[in-house]
Each structure stands twice: as C-alpha cells, then as structure tokens.
C-alpha cells in the first residue's frame, strides 16, 4: 500500500511540471508543503477538464458517490490495480474520473529481522523530480445541502525488484508518455488503461532508511527524508538476508 508520502512542491511548480493550470488561490488554501502526508489530508491532484489539465486539491481517501458517510474514505486511500474494473468502490471512477497524484517521494516500512519494530524507508526518483502516481477521484454530494467533497485514491500494483525488498505493493507511477491517456476523461478503454498499471522500473525508485520520527503523523519537516545515521541500518543489515 501507499499510506504516507511527501508533497512539498508548491502548486505553481506542480502545474508547470505537469503542463497544467494552477488552482485558484482559494482552493489551494490549507494545502501546505507536507513532508508526512497522511490519509484524510487534502492533497494536490492533476486532472483534465476537456482539453486542459489543472491542479486541484482533493481529500485523500476516496468517498464513492453512493457512500452514506464520508468516513468510508478512511478505508479507501489505495485502490488495487488488479480489481479496479470490478470493484464497486472504484470501477466508475476508473472509467471516467482518473487523476495524477504528484509526490516528491513516499515512505514504506520493512520488518526488521528478529524484531517487532519496522524500519521506515524514503523512496524517491534518482533525479528528485516528482512521481506521478496514478489516482482516481470522485465527487460526493452526501453532506449538507449544496455540500460537495472531491476525494482521491492512489492506485497500487505489485512491486518492482527494488521495492520487493521492502513491501509487496507500490504505487503505480505513470511515465510522462502515459499522462494524456490516463487523464483523458473521454478515454474509457479499460483494457488499454489497465496496461498502464504496472510496476515502475527499479531504476526509478531509489531508497534509503530514515528515522522513526516519521512513524508519528504529527511530525513533519524535510528532515524526515534524511538518511538514518544508525550504523546497523545504514550499513545494510536489513538487506543482508536478501543477498548482494
């Protein structure tokens, strides 16, 4: 799964990177640079309205249009690529409401051999550019009169070779060549879209262990991405059992 990530780039930079229109200032209010993004937080997404891309702020945790309570979204922060087309929660969004969730990197935890604790890792691109996570979005109208909530979920798939050493899932990372097809609201070719939902090359996901401060969602700041200084962790003992 993907349960924590970094979204520190300002919306105007996100818009430039994805050739999109930035959000209205009023819509971007409250979405501050966040180095420890947790579920139920508002995050930036990139979506397409007709021929134009734009950046918007959505609630992380997809709330289907048929949901009776917004809390349903707490269980829908991720959507498995293998079941998008058949899931009652995601199949309508998969066909008509797709988006990109920009991320400067993400965190994942690996069990430490012989211990109950898990070691967090920070995963990012080798060039430190933004990841383009495949996402879905929905608009929920179940609140008060006139109240609407737009929410998103991150699509996950099986891990690439590098990620498999840490976890059995990873976000779908879309290459720039797939952005048009994925964002096009008129594209309902589920079979072709499904072929985009594959693990990114291992060369695109570099990682290092980080301190356990990231475990607490109340902690923030760019230092959370710094490599752990613990000699045992930094020395690679976590991967010793995997071989060279």
Catalytic choice (108, 129, 161, 213): 108
DSSP string, 59-88: EES---TT-SSGGGGGG-SEEEGGGTTT-T
Quickly tell me which residue has 């290459």 as its tokens. Answer: 175
134 C-beta neighbours (distance < 10 Å), count: 27
For 93, the enclosing helix (H) or strand (E) is: helix 91-96
Q: Is 108 a catalytic residue?
A: yes
Cβ partners under 8 Å of residue 68, min gap 6: 142
Cβ partners under 8 Å of residue 111, min gap 6: 118, 119
Residues 62, 179: Cα–Cα separation, whole Å: 21
Cβ partners under 8 Å of residue 90, min gap 6: 62, 76, 79, 83, 84, 136, 153
* Contact predicate 38/4, CB 8 Å: yes
* Contact predicate 139/147, CB 8 Å: no
Radius of gyration (Cα) for the chain, nearest Å?
A: 18
Residues 162, 86: Cα–Cα separation, whole Å: 29
Catalytic choice (2, 29, 186, 213): 2
Instruction: Give catalytic residue positions.
Output: 2, 108
């Amino acid at each position: 799964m993907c349960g924590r990530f970094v979204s520190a780039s300002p919306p105007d930079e996100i818009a430039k990177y994805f050739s999109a229109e930035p959000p209205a200032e009023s819509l971007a209010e409250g979405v501050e640079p966040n180095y420890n993004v947790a579920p139920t937080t508002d995050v930036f997404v990139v979506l397409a309205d007709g021929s134009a891309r734009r950046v918007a702020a959505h609630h992380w945790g997809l709330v289907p249009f048929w949901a009776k309570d917004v809390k349903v979204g707490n269980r829908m922060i991720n959507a498995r690529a293998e079941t998008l087309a058949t899931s009652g929660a995601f199949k309508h969004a998969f066909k008509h409401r797709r988006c990109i969730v920009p991320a400067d990197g993400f965190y994942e935890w690996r069990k430490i051999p012989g211990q109950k604790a898990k070691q967090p890792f920070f995963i990012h691109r080798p060039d430190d550019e933004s990841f383009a996570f495949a996402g879905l979005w929905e608009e929920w109208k179940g609140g008060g009169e006139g109240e609407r909530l737009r929410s998103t979920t991150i699509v996950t798939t099986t891990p690439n070779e590098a990620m498999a050493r840490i976890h059995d899932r990873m976000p779908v990372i879309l290459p720039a060549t797939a952005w048009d097809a994925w964002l096009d609201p008129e594209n309902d070719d589920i079979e072709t879209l499904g072929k985009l939902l594959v693990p990114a090359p291992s060369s695109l996901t570099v990682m290092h262990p980080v301190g356990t401060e990231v475990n607490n969602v109340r902690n923030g700041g760019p230092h959370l991405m710094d490599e752990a200084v613990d000699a045992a962790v930094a020395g690679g003992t976590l991967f010793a059992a995997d071989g060279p």
